[in-house]
Amino acid sequence: MRAVTQSSPGGPETLSLTELPDPAPGPGEVLIEVAATAVNRADLLQRQGNYPPPPGASDVIGLECSGTIAALGEGVADWSVGDEVCALLAGGGYASHVVVPVGQVMGVPEGIDLVTAAALPEVACTVWSNVFMVAGLRPGENFLVHGGGGGIGTFAIQLAHAVGARVFTTAGSPEKLQRCRELGADVAINYRDEDFVKVVREATGGHGADVVLDNMGAKYLPRNVDVLADEGRLVIIGMQGGVKGELNIAKLLSKRGAVIATALRSRPVDNKARICASVVENVWPLVADGTVKPVVSEVLSLADVARAHRLVEDGDSIGKVLMTP
């Protein structure tokens, strides 16, 4: 099979397309002939040597894909060869073929083409599991998502808006801020010259954000606690702004607030299977009827993997960058 390999940890120039032995599905797994994969921030960390795959996962980068089932492992009964699917992966997406546990395989939502479907698994599972299954966002609550122009942000804005939350987001350019508003953000904040704590508190009459989805980590921790409403829930899913921050426990106690840190990739297979099943039940209908749409910035080939990584690393793209074998 064709796959992206890496000469050594480092920059995008260390990635190249090569040939590897074809994988075969084991019991409870399926083999997918990949139509497309997507570049995620976690992929950049793995390339740099800072986010190794969990035990047993492929060393090939790539956390999601879409494609056609090419073979079934022993005991797989719910799918057939030739079915068009998308999948959440622990690794291996940057390839022409990938093996995945059957519980992480999802049908393609109606009306979505097979290539575009590669933009869905990681963002849908991340947003649904964290914002709704963990933080319990409810209609009428105030929701703040950082990085509104990225893959997670563009999806979170739409999904929170769809369920009736008031949506706040941060982004760093006029173009991204406008796109966030088009997707359903009620208030879009330029983090370069505005204080998101002040803007959110003023816009909510001092109430604050009931749920915050944060990809920055340490850099935003004190201000995320400041912006929380009473009984607010801060969910940290990234560490672009560092790994060590100061937490004012007294302030958190006074708000009866919660700080939750989660990772999707390292969860047990059965846990990820439950998330995927919940996404198919609750999110896919909203995608199928057009309420929530995958946002794709560019579609490149795997041979252009270095360019794809640079696009995501530079932060100029809006939504997902996809690659096809």
Task: Please write the tens of the pLDDT for every residue from 165-197.
Answer: 999 999 999 999 999 999 999 999 999 999 999
pLDDT at 68: 98
Q: How far is CA 241 from CA 70, 153, 219, 244, 263, in A?
A: 40, 16, 5, 9, 16
pLDDT tens column, 86-131: 999 999 999 999 999 999 999 999 999 999 999 999 999 999 999 9
Residues 239-258 have a mean pLDDT of 94
Q: How far apart are CA 269 and CA 105, in angstroms?
A: 12
DSSP characters over 16-83? EEEE-PPP---TTEEEEEEEEEEE-HHHHHHHTTSSPPPTTS-SS--SEEEEEEEEE-TT--S--TT-
Share of the chain above pLDDT 70, in %: 100
Question: Above 90 in pLDDT, residue 316?
Answer: no
Q: How far apart are CA 124 and CA 162, in angstroms?
A: 14
pLDDT at 146: 98
- pTM of the model as a whole: 0.96
164: alpha, beta or left? (left if phi > 0; alpha if psi -120 to 50):
left
Share of the chain above pLDDT 90, in %: 98
Radius of gyration of the chain (CA): 19
pLDDT at 251: 96
Residues 147-175 have a mean pLDDT of 97
pLDDT at 87: 98
Averaged pLDDT score across all residues of the chain = 97
Question: Could you tell me which of 130, 84, 154 has the C-alpha nearest to residue 275?
Answer: 130
